[in-house]
Structure 1
């Protein structure tokens, strides 16, 4: 019977088109309908901050080098993932990600919570030659990042594009983008204070690659890796175990 119905449907052009539209509509509704409740499903995070110019530059380098192809940035709610990587990812944590880098393929581990897990020195060593710190690693080396000076003069335009996409960078942030990128990687300069003033006291200001004479692509990428999972503490608050109330019977 199903075969007979399908055969008749295939012979009717109009009927077949209607069936295709109906099937596509069901799929579309399933994908689109949740967007109408997006304000209710995305968590609030009052402490959420934006990427600094240096971190944003590092994110662009991360994308440029194809790192997202091997590392996801989304921890599922599965117990083994939470125990290995930390609290599961919340939608609000990707609020300022344009584009988002959740991913699904894991040739390497998920790095959604790698920020602060290792030192700057570890990250530099890992990117220079992964086998020096992870002997079984099959990750390629990125030695040239320490030799490439970071291009900073176009950072205001990068922030402007992000603002067009909904990230609330201010005019002041865009005007000081290059100075802030330099200041975040050179703590002993006068520019460092401007970074924490505009992006918050929790912003990491550090000599990421160990060199103070200039800012490199290595500085930018390490700065980005060190902020992953630390733009907001919402995930830790959201998954914190509730306090155990005293039993009135005891």
Structure 2
């Protein structure tokens, strides 16, 4: 057996071929299951796709590079759980394309920021971060409150996400613009059906501006982070509570 191994090690071409074959087999075993989400992610009650307005806010979050300083992954370590709350579940980011787990925290983790602060706090934080967190080195994003959010093509965003597995329905796609406007305006002609198409929706004027701005969308996104999953069904050791 050892002699056969020696022949392989002395022939660089043969060694290269076997290395490629070995890596290919390992890669297939690791990667193929990921194309079947139902086999790799346990469904969690309450988790839903983003509403059109939340998705628009997610797009603003990506564009502004917020992920460079903020992660969205509470690791199952005691200090993290005590600071941020329940550790992150895989299903909570199953509809994120791309996911926002992150690997660097210049600022705090945002996986459970939803509902932690008021809308006014977020407005002040984005306008001038140091007004609410004096030691913050975060730059101001006041321009978001002055720019109307682009919702003209939000339906196409939903269609594109459906192609990669996000379960948006034809009805949700057809009503994408109206649903986004309904969520951002507390009193609106667009309200019909929004609550039926999406569960646990925050419907209000998020930034206090009469127009629907990018800040509206961003705050709507931030306020939903970590609030969908019904975490009472899970214990801190990673197991599901009995009877669930």
* Category of TM-score, reference length = shorter chain: 0.7 to 0.9
1:188 aligns with 2:184: no
1:16: Cα distance to partner? 3.5
| Deviations 1:13-33 (CA, angstroms, capped at 9, x unpaired) | 224314532663576367337
| Deviations 1:181-203 (CA, angstroms, capped at 9, x unpaired) | 11111111132343212112x21
| Deviations 1:149-171 (CA, angstroms, capped at 9, x unpaired) | 01111111111111111111112
Corresponding residue number in structure 2 for 1:247: none
Root-mean-square deviation (Å): 2.5
Corresponding residue number in structure 1 for 2:217: 220
1:173: Cα distance to partner? 1.2
CA distance in structure 1 between the aligned counterparts of 2:143 and 2:68, rounded to whole angstroms: 20
- Could you tell me the TM-score, scaled by structure 1's length? 0.84
Greater shift, 158-167 or 214-223, is seen at 158-167
CA distance in structure 2 between the aligned counterparts of 1:72 and 1:41, rounded to whole angstroms: 22
Greater shift, 28-37 or 123-132, is seen at 28-37
CA distance in structure 2 between the aligned counterparts of 1:38 and 1:214, rounded to whole angstroms: 39
Corresponding residue number in structure 2 for 1:147: 146
Contact 2:34 2:40 in 1 (8 A): no
After superposition, residues 31-70 of structure 1 pair within 5 angstroms as 31-32=30-31, 35=34, 39-70=38-69
1:136: Cα distance to partner? 0.7
| Deviations 1:75-123 (CA, angstroms, capped at 9, x unpaired) | 1111111111111111111121111111111111110000000000001
1:230 aligns with 2:209: no
Corresponding residue number in structure 2 for 1:239: 235
Greater shift, 189-198 or 173-182, is seen at 189-198
1:227: Cα distance to partner? 0.4
CA distance in structure 2 between the aligned counterparts of 1:164 and 1:34, rounded to whole angstroms: 18
After superposition, residues 77-156 of structure 1 pair within 5 angstroms as 77-156=76-155
- Could you tell me the TM-score, scaled by structure 2's length? 0.86
Greater shift, 177-186 or 28-37, is seen at 28-37
Correspondence for 1:204 among 178, 202, 205: 202
**Which structure 2 segments of 5+ residues have no match?**
none
- Using a 3 Å threshold, how does the CA distance of structure 1 residues 177 and 39 change in structure 2: closer, same or farther? closer
Corresponding residue number in structure 2 for 1:12: 11
